[in-house]
Structure 1
């Protein structure tokens, strides 16, 4: 299963890599491509290229851009095999990983196999930002996620059914995978350098994904807010004792303006921050009550694959 968004430059190499992979597997390969409302020519190039490959495939076009994780969920639902792998269309994760994933799933009692990044050939700034992102993710959301993060995985059809049955909006597919538990294994690899195009995984999308993950899997923001409230009450009580004592002993005659303003500003900001946190939880809960579909399929085309 492969989500596609702004990947027209890598389509030819991707299909060639999958053709080569299909020839090394012990079972037939079926590839499901989900074009997530991509504004480039990815869909047209796939529709043309899939007529000449030697494996079965399904090409799905979503009505608009729903996001990578909604596209992956759609592709998982459409896949028909006993074992389903998810890989990126930009080929930064070696396609040979799929062969290792399937070998592990067929030879061991496993539910899911993850690709664990042991190294990456990305620019220094991108590498540093990714390391920070996954460090925060592991700390706040799922400590079981490996240090380098996870982009590709494979799972059994039974485990897939449990995953797609959870129709949460504004959640994290990776978080759901680790929340489900199951028998898992990690296979290490080195992330390759991107050859075509620019990654659509922008800073804004990373921050949104991290916030979705935190609010979907952790009550840490609420606990932090509650702790801040307790500290604020303790400070207020201490200041109140000081003020009363100073008044009794005649230390001052007129209360200080600066101290009053600072206290008002601090607690006002704390209240606003708290409303924002509670509002985020309430909005996500409300979104899930709507029961809207997580994606809308506009077109579905099946290709039988050329005979060898």
Structure 2
């Protein structure tokens, strides 16, 4: 497919059990996209690609209905729930646009910002990420943990991710091709977006409250995503625990010399049971924690070594994907 045959904009919309949200999303987003104009004043070409990530409700039927009303709305259905990162990867592999924008179906990220993103792209930026002006729609624990995570990730990793920026961003086709070429199975998309580099800029927006459906991310899933992000982007946790182990060993050696010196000078006294238990439990806890961190990396090596596909497509709706 030549560049002139591609639509200007492709939206990737990962969905799971979102039957109630799809019709409202399509109505709002198509109105925004139809109102966009190219530099010569002509309407821009666009497509919306829904990625059904193993929904158990009527989400797939809603995508079929949207496609029947507008053939520019296409979709793929995965064979089971592979997770949002895999669904985004499936979307990147099957969109055709010169620019690609991942966006959630809940419309908390306003599609009206797409025009501003497109303006920045025309000025030469290959990545235009949306940044939330504030996180007032989040609870206090979520705001605190989000701030902590971004700071920890950017401190430990060389691939800095913008704070308070989600997956909502515009990607030039060249960026998409770089990400598609990455073979890893443990996918942390924000990290992959950052690793690719290119010229990047931000567009600020206010995130709205969710009015339809409910979030599929609980704190356990967010914790897993955070661990995936840290371990996929940096080996610093392994290095840190090497330093901690060296420090504890050095302290133990110094203490051993002190005990020897005290025994020579003052004789042997009866060791306290409490202090012995504290030392044993502390060192045992440190060892188990370090083994757990090592296990996280070993587990990811196992997944990569298996070489299984990131996702499996069960059904295509319309004609998503490359056309020769």
Question: TM-score scaled to structure 2, two decimals?
Answer: 0.87
Residue 15 (structure 1) shift? 0.7
Counterpart secondary structure, 1:152: strand
The number of residues matched between the two structures is 302
Give the superposition deviation at 1:251: 4.4
SS of 2:166 mapped into structure 1: coil
What does residue 288 of structure 1 align with?
304
Q: Tell me the C-alpha RMSD between the 2 structures.
A: 2.0
Q: Does the aligned pair in 2 maintain the 1:3–1:35 contact within 8 Å?
A: yes
Q: Which residue of 1 aligns with 2:112?
A: 96
User: Where in structure 2 are the equivalents of 1:262-281 lying within 5 Å?
Assistant: 262-281=278-297
**CA offset digits 1:117-155 (Å, max 9, x no partner):** 112451434444444443444444467323323230111
Higher mean Cα deviation, 34-43 or 266-275?
Answer: 266-275
* Structure-1 residue corresponding to 2:234: 218
Paired position in structure 2 for 1:181 = 197
The 8 Å contact of residues 153 and 160 in structure 2, kept in 1 or not, is answered as no
Residue by residue over 1:190-242, the C-alpha shift from the partner in whole angstroms, topping out at 9 and shown as x without a partner, is 11110111111211111111101111111221122112112211221121122
Q: Which residue, out of 120, 123, 136, partners 1:108?
A: 123
Q: Assess, with a 3 A threshold, how the Cα gap between structure 1 residues 13 and 203 changes in structure 2: closer, same or farther.
A: same
1:137-187 superposed Cα distances (whole Å, 9 cap, x missing partner) = 444446732332323011111210110111212231110110111111111
Contact 1:121 1:193 in 2 (8 A): no
Q: CA 1:285–1:123 in structure 2 vs 1: closer, same or farther (change >3 Å)?
A: closer
How does 1:1-308 map onto structure 2 within 5 Å?
A: 1-26=12-37, 27-53=44-70, 56-105=72-121, 107-125=122-140, 126-141=142-157, 144-302=160-318
List structure 1 segments (4+ residues) > 6 angstroms apart after TM superposition. Answer: none
Instruction: Tell me if the contact between 1:58 and 1:302 (Cα under 8 Å) persists in the aligned partners.
Output: yes
User: Comparing 256-265 with 77-86, which one deviates more in the overlay?
Assistant: 256-265
In 1: Cα distance, 2:215 partner to 2:115 partner = 25
Could you tell me the TM-score, scaled by structure 1's length?
A: 0.91
Change in 2 beyond 3 A, CA 1:174/1:201 = same
Q: Is the 8 A contact 1:15 1:50 kept in 2?
A: no
* Long gaps (5+) in structure 2: 1-11, 38-43
- Return the offset for 1:5: 1.5
2:125 and 2:200 in contact (8 A); partners too = yes
